[in-house]
Structure 1
Amino acid sequence: VNLAIPAAIGATVTPSTTLLTCFGDTNASITVSGVTGGQGSNYSYTLNRVSPTASSSGPQASPVFSGLGAGTYTVSIIDGYNCSFTSADIVITEPTKVESLLVKETSQTCLTGTTLRLSATGGTGLYEYSSTPDFATVLGTFASSTTVSVSPGTYMYYVRDVNGCEANVSNQIKIDPLPTLVVNVDATNAFINCSGDNTGVIVATANGGLGNYIYTLEDALGNTIAATQLTPGRFTELLAGDYQVHVDSGDCEATSIIVSITEPDSPLIAPFTTSNITCNGSNNGSITVNASGGTGQIRYAISPQLNQFFETNTFGDLAPGTYDVIAQDELGCFMVINFTITEPDPLALTIVSGSLLPEVCTGDMDGEFSVELSGGTAPYSVALDDINGTYTTGALTQTEFPFTNLEGGDKVVYVRDALGCETEWNITFPESVTIAPEASVAYGCTNNISTNTVTVTVDASITDPADLDYSLNGGTYQTSNVFVNVPAGLSHYIDVRHTNGCIKRTASFDIEQYDALSITSAIGEINEIVAV
């Protein structure tokens, strides 16, 4: 008995392709041919899938395996003797999956449309695209991407490669119409309360366009105006006039309607006159404000109550000081007036040093004094002793006033300044002396010698004899008012001197001469003696 050892099984294992046409295809096949060895017949075939996932198919009598996708395979052959054969790995690959992506490349502007970029990866070779899944109309081809200009609408595309492998449908992009750029203006504060002020405000708000608005203020002719713009579109510190706002939004432009900023026809003016206090301490200062212009009724307030307004434009009875007056119209336009009320210094009087010369003797009318005036308002007027008497008005710069030909006794000086302010001053003025001397002569005889006595009497107003002394005929003064045995003669006189310097003379008087009495006798007629 010969036991023959069969030859090892051998075979040719051939895939229909090693590269599938499209990602995900399952149309590849593996065919086993030229099987030899082993039993020589009675072969069965098993397909082993190694990757991506391990699996087996068979055994089967047919040497052909179909409906295969990408993967790594081996084929096992077994005969009736259980002899076996396993082929080398058979690798079937597939192209990468065709993927498409649609993005917005550029956004539309007022001058240009939107562009979309369609790109694809995977698959094989050039790509073609269509807006319909059946590719009834091919819109174009591209190697990796293409740019498509579109108008507003909704877009998505279908893509396939040269092998007809289709990508997933692209994402969908909706292009909305670009909103029209519109500029709205708020003219709520487009007016000026006070003529000439720059308090006008225009607020512009843009909508539509491309955003990123740039606001520019223009005059009615479209000329750019430099203006304060604290926030975009808010223009402040504007004078009266016509304005418009131009807005740039990318390549979109729009201009607002014309807005007129108005102001009152006449500016608020507030000329005023003040009157200072006439007499010190009288608090009769005043101010009159003759405001005009502005809007509506004008009211007035004066410090310190600047929140209390009156319709009257005159404020009186003001004390010295600095004040503020506000003149304000119905729109709150106001002017502040600052002014000062002054008062003259108090009228003051002083006696000029060395000027007081009293009347020494009553009736001489030679008393005098001068006064120096200050304060008040020049020129000054003065009167003496009679408030309703005749006043003497000095020159504008005159401050010294003399009073002459005065009799003795206290005086009252009345002073009146240019504004009628009055004052009076009591002047202590020495009383004059009334001597009124009178000389009386009395004759006598002593030891047959003639004698005389001259006695001087004075006015009863002189109560202290010690204030007087006496001089006969210009001789030496004596304290006694009696002169004895004045020589006979005519026109004698006695000066009486007061301690204040007053000297008064008596009326002249004569002193008779009386000889000593002598008697002689002689015989006269019969029985007669004659005594002489």
Structure 2
Amino acid sequence: MKKRNTLLYTLFATITLIALFTNQYVAPDNGYTGAPGEGTCASCHAPANANFAGQVQLTGIPDQLYAGQEYKVNIEVRKFRGNPAYAGFEMVVLDQNNQDIGTLNQPTGVSGIITDRTLLRTYFKNVIHPTDFGNDSVVTWSVTWIAPENQTNATVNFYATAILANGDSTVLGDLAVKTQLSRILTEGGPLSVEIANVTNVQCGGDSTGAISLLVQGGTAPLSYQWSNGATTPDIQSLPAGDYTVTVTDSDTSQVVKTVTITEPANLVPQIISVTGVACNGQDNGSATLGASGGTPPYQFLWPDADTSRIRNDLAAGDYIVLVVDHADCAATLPLTIEANVFIQTNAGSIAESTPGAHDGIAYVTPSGGTPPYLIVWNTGANTDTIRQLAPGTYTVVIGDLSGCLVQDSVIVGSGTCPLAGNISVVQPDCGTGNSGSISVTFPNPTGQVTIRWSNGDTTPTILNLSPGTYTLFAEDEGTCTYRDTVIIQSTGMITLDSVRLKHPQCDGTNDGSISFTINGGVPPYRLDWSPDLPTATPDSLAAGTYILTVFDANNCTSQDTFVLLGDDNTLPFILSPSIEAYLDANGIAQVTFAQLQEAVIDNCGLDTITLSKNTFSCSELGSQQVALTARDLAGNSLNDSITIVVMDTIKPVIQPFDTLTANRCTGLNYPQILTQDNCGVDTVFLLQGTGPDGSFTVGMNLDVYQVIDFSGNASLGVLPIFIQRPTLVADLTPPSCSGRTDGSIAIDFPDAATTISTIWGNGQTGDTLKNIPGGSYIAFSADTTGCFFRDTIVLDSSAFQVVLDSIRAESPAGGYLAVHLDGGSAPYEFQWFKEEIALADTSLILDSLAAGRYHMKAQDDTGCKITSDDFLITGTSARQSWLEQNITLYPNPNNGRLWIRNDQRVIIHEAVLTNLLGQPLQRWITPSLPLQLPGISDGSYLLKINTDQGSIVKQIIILQH
């Protein structure tokens, strides 16, 4: 069976524009999507690598586009053969007039959205660097395209080109591929709502669920009303339960959807058994733990970092155990290891009756433990009570029937004397110095008390005392003694010394202060300010009168008055010697009052600033010296001069051009180059292109002009020139098998204005080549006016081929591969191979495949033999290795701010920071970057990253101090 394809060939010239006036690297250049007037990646990356095979696809674009709707567009670059290392891409969305249509936003991965003001187009492309294939055969980027609301019936063309690069940092040996999709934009359409994605709650009782919608059709704007009150298409942070959304368009069409968010059973830690310790201080308590709910298996973390489920080495006390299930859900379990009823000594003592009597007593009354008890004192006694003891410490050891021992000590005190005295003191008053007195009484003496004061008096009361220290010694008839010391305080007038006033710098400022020291009187002192002030020596004071009253401990007083005055004699100051004034679109520049306020300052604030001249024109470009007068709020005036630098930064413009269109062999009506500038144009010249007298190639040509004004400001203008030629349509019939010569090519020029004649590179003439093998063929065609065209047509080497239908590279159940045979003559014979080992499978569909490379060898009924490309099935270990290679943490070590760089195909659900024992310290759900690590001490930690393609753990180092 023959396969016939109709291919449309259009030739376009490519011109690379050099980015001027920039020192930043931007790659790749704009304008290489394969759209009208643009080249492709093949324009620079040549020659192509014959060992590479691949394609670029656009997905997520439905057959029907609706005005005002959002569409997630995916660009997939897939490799079929060879080992390209990287992939890059560039995409543009144009209408039927080759103008931007719709809005691009929310790019993913290492990609961005760039509007080229020269090409007047917006591009979605990889930025900074291409993306590594890793162990996968496909690289994917995504962007949201929003359809316009006011361009119904427009044609929407998606153009994309991609490069499969060998990674040698040159343009040699790569493969360029391209694709295009066209759709019609219609208004409204039936409102369609589907559930795009549901994320269930990870841990029972949490609120980590999420729902996203895929909405198409309807008449914008759309409204969303969820049962939980949300009004957005996507909702997050949801607990388990049923959620209903009503989507309504502006025509009141409604769609109602209900979604259920599920959750696992709550993680419930359990105590299976607990045994207390046998004796005081032992570590032989035991506990057996378990858990239910959550996601088994479970992990247990004790406070001492032990992870055992069963412990037999526990001391008595309270414990909190952290239980974590396989989904990283956590719960705590408190438990208590009881001590058996320990031996209580209940020890006590009785002091000797009087000093030297040696009749003290020490005793114990044991309880708890397992009676009977064995008692041993450090005196050798083994009774519960020992008597006739001198003052001192006595130690006892008590043992019970279980062999438990406890030790205790008691202190037998000395005998005491009961003599006590009560002292009363009268201090001198504010006006005299020798009127103090001291009295003493003894409530319970033994017989008469003998009194001796340090001043020689022997009476209970001593009078007319001057300031000083007085000591009392008393003894009763029982030889008990009493000693005490009393101070009669000094008196005198309260005075303020070392007074220092700091006056406020300005009227209205609060930077004054009052400081002093207090002498005389009786400390401590109490200060009373009027008006009320918060501190003893206040600061932050405004100008004014302040009255201070000082009270001492005897309530004697002293009063002083302080007056603070405003003090501004400082002139305004010119902070900046020059001010820049920028000419506007009319060639006028004015110095604003805000600029003057930045150039002139004053310690207490400015009142007025004036210039002798503040308006300037194009003729005054450069530095102009003008007089300046500045007056502050205190009336201090400054007369000086300042430099005004008049500048022009407005770029000249070239009047925009319409695209010139002409046939290849006819002349052009080249336009005049019109310019405009606020201060006049210095020069205009052709920067790139051929100009009005040049020769243009078929397709889009760009003449780039540069205009420069007298201040050196420059800008570009681009004149698009499109040279038409007849469209070539080729009808191709590949050979039935590689090496055969039964292929053919038939060409036609359906839109040619005259008859077209063709001569082929092999010397044949006419519009058809027959009985040819696969390969490249050159056709030279000319119309009746003498215009000629050169086209290269590629004919596949064989119509018989193995076509890949579906491949699933990895899954828990193994890989999946489906193909079909096309273009040959049935019946077919084929054989599958893994590496070079033949397989027994006889189906075109292989399932449950182990990791490895697979290919097929096939033969049709005519004896044509072919071998397919390799199909790669990766395994779980490869996926883990791929995750390790495509998730990077930086900087590491870090200062408390950590970034995660991940391949765009990996969706990060959660990040968990733990210590080296695995104990969680901080958790982020759908983390925002950078991760902030406040309060985390310097050291080494683990970061577990949970993704849609598995989990990995990486070590990080934090150095914040």
Q: Same fold (TM over 0.5)?
A: no
TM-score, with length taken from structure 2: 0.19
Structure index of larger Rg: 1
TM-score, with length taken from structure 1: 0.31
